[in-house]
Structure 1
Amino acid sequence: MKKAGLLMIIGSLLLLGLFKFPLWNIELEAPQYPDPLGMNIYIQGIEGEEEFDIQNIDGLNHYIGMRTIPKPEDMWEFGVFPTVIIIMVALGVLIGLLGIFEKVSYKWFMGWFILMSVLGILGMYDFNAWLTDYGSNLNPNAIMKLTQPDGTPMTYSPPLLGHEKMLNFDVTSLPATGAWMMFTGMMLTIFAFLVGWTKRKKV
């Protein structure tokens, strides 16, 4: 099961890309901004695509009562997520090594994948909850108080995935390089499981 174990190790190590590359990207385009404003969301914090993007987004948010973009110390997730990723990488590498020496069944590869999938779904749920709260929990004393046609206050929650029109801004939210590296790594662990299953079936 050497090949399967190696695939498991490589797949797990790809998650380390999350410490270098952003997990998600949110971009805002509008006529008054020839160059779109962008936020790169890392597992350790949020950064602007360009030097003053966060400052400009915070300035816009001030007018409609949205809070400033949180710093790493403002959200517990930015402290917990890196630890979770390190644990999952270490666990994946350990399972891969044990697989190479045939100390564990190929089923452990699938177990790691399922656990990582559950953690990923919980992370996406938490991210979406933050976006919803961020765009709907507005300062009642904001300079601009816009309402829906039915009279209810307008909210400005960015989409979790895809495109949405918010006032005169086109907001696009998509996975970034780190997310694709994580996805590729997880697919490799599925492949490792299939390789191990195929080999065991032939025995």
Structure 2
Amino acid sequence: MKTSGILMIIGSALLLGLFVYPLWNIRLEAPQYPDPLGMDIYIAGIEGEEEFDIQNIDGINHYIGMKKIPKPAEMWEFNVFPLVIGGMAALGIVLGLLGFLKKISPNWFLGWLVLMGVLGILGMYDFNNWLIDYGTDLDPKAIIKLTDAEGNPLSYKPPLLGSQDILNFTAHSYPEKGAYMMFIGMFLTLIAWIVGRRNVSEKI
């Protein structure tokens, strides 16, 4: 159980990278912007890749009636997500220590992983809902009003994952370093559970 406990501790601690590195990135490319406009999405807020990216994105969005990029105080997620990630990291480290000391079964590691997976799915669902609202809830008084062939307002929702053409822009949406650290951490906790189970089985 010592090896599995160490793996659990390391895997859980990798979640703390989300407090330093962005979770996701959305980048907009267009002929009139030689340097793409990008925003890094952290668990506690959104920042531009470059100094004036957020300002420029908000300026473009204003013409088609999209909302401004939200500030941390304007979204409950930016207050709750740090608490959830910090709590899960702390819980995982405690479980790893208890596993290292042979105080608990490795099945606790699997329980942590399942819970983290459920929270991750809920987080992605919430993120997608925000993208839908961001790209479809348009100001009816917008300067530019574009509609489809049936007369319905166009959707400017960026993709949840991948690339998509939106007017003369190409939007790219992909995980960033923080997300990769989280995925690696969750994979390590899976390995911790497998190693722990093998150790228990060998002693029976």
TM-score (norm 1): 0.99
Question: What residue is the counterpart of 2:172 in the other structure?
Answer: 172
Distance 1:63 1:143 in 2: 5
Provide the secondary structure at the position in 2 that maps to 1:10.
Answer: helix
Offset at residue 155 of structure 1 (A): 1.1
Offset at residue 150 of structure 1 (A): 1.5
Question: What residue is the counterpart of 2:45 in the other structure?
Answer: 45
Question: What residue is the counterpart of 2:110 in the other structure?
Answer: 110
Distance 2:65 2:155 in 1: 10
Question: What residue is the counterpart of 1:200 in the other structure?
Answer: 200
Question: What residue is the counterpart of 1:9 in the other structure?
Answer: 9
What one-letter code is carried by the residue in structure 2 that aligns with 1:26? I
Q: Deviations over 1:114-152 (max 9, x none)?
A: 000000000000000000001000000000000011111
What one-letter code is carried by the residue in structure 1 that aligns with 2:124? M
Distance 1:90 1:29 in 2: 39
Distance 1:86 1:152 in 2: 43
Distance 1:137 1:155 in 2: 9
What one-letter code is carried by the residue in structure 1 that aligns with 2:149? P
Question: What residue is the counterpart of 1:60 in the other structure?
Answer: 60
What one-letter code is carried by the residue in structure 2 that aligns with 1:169? F
TM alignment of 1:1-203, pairs within 5 A: 1-203=1-203
Q: Deviations over 1:72-96 (max 9, x none)?
A: 0000000000000111011001100
Distance 1:54 1:129 in 2: 21
TM-score (norm 2): 0.99
Q: Deviations over 1:32-88 (max 9, x none)?
A: 000000000000000000000000000000000000000000000000000001110
Distance 1:48 1:101 in 2: 44
Distance 1:152 1:85 in 2: 40
Distance 1:31 1:147 in 2: 22
Offset at residue 109 of structure 1 (A): 0.4
Q: Deviations over 1:10-39 (max 9, x none)?
A: 000000000000000000000000000000
State the identity %: 66
Provide the secondary structure at the position in 2 that maps to 1:155.
Answer: coil
Gaps of 5+ in 1: none
Distance 2:157 2:22 in 1: 20
How many correspondences in the alignment? 203
What one-letter code is carried by the residue in structure 2 that aligns with 1:142? A
* RMSD over aligned Cα atoms: 0.4
Offset at residue 200 of structure 1 (A): 1.1
Provide the secondary structure at the position in 1 that maps to 2:145.
Answer: coil
Instruction: Write out the 4+ residue segments of structure 1 that deviate beyond 4 Å after TM superposition.
Output: none
